Amino acid sequence: MSKHIVEQAKEQQQAIALEDLTGIRDRTNRKIRKSRRGMHNTWSFYQLRAYIEYKAARAGIEVIPVNPAWTSQMCSNCWHIGSRSGVHFRCSNCGAELHADVNGAVNIATVGAALVTRPEYSPLQCPLPQRAAEAAG
């Protein structure tokens, strides 16, 4: 998978934006059934990221860590805070309805692009999470 991701980025001459998944197991183990935790704990987020970073570095591709805050709850179309119910995302502002993971991935790509074009932003200072907080508040 990492090889394919890096090859696609190289072909398209693009950087790779990755969600910073530090602590994901701690956050998600509380939300899944005990019977499914064994499978869940075999996910190797760190290993996939390490492979992508290694192969991207060899190919001269930049890897950009993105703070995941609000990425799955904010509409990728209008940046309004929408509602996520399982795998479904719906925006009450513009009416967009899409898979929540697709919505989050588009937002991660948008933040990654902003970090490439505006390098003064760190992943924790990117305006997307701030805008989400303002919209929710």
What's residue 36's pLDDT?
62
What's residue 123's pLDDT?
45
Q: Do residue 60 and residue 89 come from a single domain?
A: no
Q: Do residue 110 and residue 54 come from a single domain?
A: no
What's residue 40's pLDDT?
55
Q: Do residue 108 and residue 98 come from a single domain?
A: yes
Q: What is the largest CA-CA distance in the chain?
A: 44
Q: Do residue 114 and residue 60 come from a single domain?
A: no
Domain final position from 16, 39, 66: 66
How many Å separate Cα 124 from the centre of its chain? 13
Average pLDDT per 10 consecutive residues for the chain, totaling 137 residues? 93 90 59 61 75 95 88 90 89 93 93 78 51 58
Tokens encoding 71 = 């990425």
Q: Do residue 126 and residue 93 come from a single domain?
A: yes
What's residue 55's pLDDT?
96
Q: Of 53, 68, 64, 136, which Cα lies nearest the Cα of 107?
A: 68
- Domain range for 21 is 1-66
pLDDT in tens, 54-67: 999 999 999 998 88
Q: Of 70, 90, 86, which Cα lies nearest the Cα of 135?
A: 70
Report whether 2 contacts 52 (CB < 8 A).
yes
Please give the single-letter amino acid code of residue 123.
P
pTM of the model: 0.70
